[in-house]
Amino acid sequence: MESNILIIYTGGTIGMIQDPNTGALTPFNIEALYQHIPALQNFNCRIDSYCFEPLIDSSNMNPPFWIKLARVIEENYEKYDGFVILHGTDTMAHTASMLSFMLENLNKPVVFTGAQLPMGMVRTDGRENFINAIEIASARIDDTPVVPEVTICFENQLMRGNRTNKFNAENFNAFLSGNYPLLAQMGVHIKYNTEYIFKPNFKKLKVHFNLDPNIAILKLFPGITENVVRSIINIPGLKALILETYGAGNAPTDAWFLKTLHEGIVSGITIFNVTQCKGGSVEMGKYETSVELSSIGVVGGYDITTESAVAKMMYLLGEGYSGKELTRMLQTPLRGELTVS
């Protein structure tokens, strides 16, 4: 049976051309994408498109845009079997993470893709990424979608969106899913790793539009000063801090550092411990350098990515969670974003 797919074009390199005057890359409209992939006509699916106006470089992504994107999916959810979102690579992992939280009970594929080289270029990776994404979004067995979750399809790999980060600005292989297996690999055939893919729950889609951006990220580095940590903790209105720690969740044991974080926690700020490493998990208490974090009330983030931690925090704060309930939700896998070790 023919699938109906909606392509949602947000911007990014995939659809860019060079401005003849400045030499800078600027976006062009979706018709030009089709010119570059005449093969789209041969697909056994009906493809419609929705184009954001204006198109954006994904460095300009923000919560209002996420809300618009989620609304487009909600409004078109019943009409289509799957969605392909063309998005810049820079913040694709953030948007994929965020949509995974906003779209509760998602039972259809939402496949993000983009390119490192514009579609207009001979060596573009965009054509292959785009075609793979459409194939995955339309894949069904017995009328049930094969991948009913938010994913990123890039360079012959399909990854759970909220497990990814962009780790390479040069290679076509730009995304990493350091803590979760690939959902599919594209070779001569698309090989789905079905045991790692969500099964549909057949419940009604519920879209969450309230996002609270009153959060900050603090990445630790040797030499970080009290001034810096204190300034962040004292940001007016700050509700949560994502603390990017070393290795398995370790941080300095200096008294001023722990005291400042503790003051923040006492004043109601939730501190979420995620690792700077691209693979592996926070294990608070494993080393002496994380025992104290645990005892002052820092919340361990297990193997969640920073991108996913940001999205989850904005989502949960937007839903009104705070205190112990927020901690509980942060440490509970909601969309397959973390593994409790």
Catalytic residue among 10, 13, 89, 124: 13
The smaller minimum CB distance to ligand ASP, of residues 116 and 290, is found at: 116
The smaller minimum CB distance to ligand ASP, of residues 69 and 284, is found at: 69
In angstroms, the Cα distances linking 215 to 96, 211, 235 are: 19, 11, 9
The smaller minimum CB distance to ligand ASP, of residues 69 and 330, is found at: 69
Q: Which residue in the shown chain puts its C-beta closest to ligand ASP?
A: 88
Binding site for ligand ASP (CB under 6 A): 11-13, 57-59, 88-90, 114, 116
The smaller minimum CB distance to ligand ASP, of residues 114 and 301, is found at: 114
CB of 166 to ligand ASP, least distance (A): 8
CB of 279 to ligand ASP, least distance (A): 23
CB of 92 to ligand ASP, least distance (A): 7
CB of 58 to ligand ASP, least distance (A): 3
* 13 counts as catalytic: yes
CB of 65 to ligand ASP, least distance (A): 12
The smaller minimum CB distance to ligand ASP, of residues 108 and 166, is found at: 166
Q: How far apart (Å, rounded) are the C-alpha atoms in residues 16 and 238?
A: 37
Give the residue numbers marked as catalytic: 13
